Amino acid sequence: MVDLIGAKVTILSYPDSSLLSKTGVIIDETYKTLVVGFDKRKVRLLKENGIYAINFKGRFFVVSGIKLVGKPEKRWM
């Protein structure tokens, strides 16, 4: 099981261009969304709409959000 809460994430591709290249921390996750904290702002992102660079426990991944869709407790990386 992989719990991404607390991982650093950088948005590489997303329909809202104001979020591109922003780096934050994943603070919550649901089946289809990530909640990312950027400074004092929280943003809920649809996983499937983006490509993300994730720094997770010292390992770096670039992943299409569609691969993150699903229950966090059933995901293996």
Task: List the domain boundaries for the chain.
Answer: 8-68
| Contact criterion met (CB below 8 Å) for 56 and 2 | yes
Look over the chain and give the mean of its residue pLDDT values, rounded to a whole number: 92
Quote the pLDDT of residue 77: 52
pLDDT confidence tier of residue 76, bands split at 50, 70 and 90: low
Q: How far apart are CA 43 and CA 75, in angstroms?
A: 22
The architecture that CATH gives domain 8-68 is Roll (2.30)
Q: Cα 20–75–58 angle (5° rounding)?
A: 60
pLDDT confidence tier of residue 56, bands split at 50, 70 and 90: confident
The predicted model scores a pTM of: 0.88
pLDDT in tens, 8-52: 999 999 999 999 999 999 999 999 999 999 988 999 999 999 999
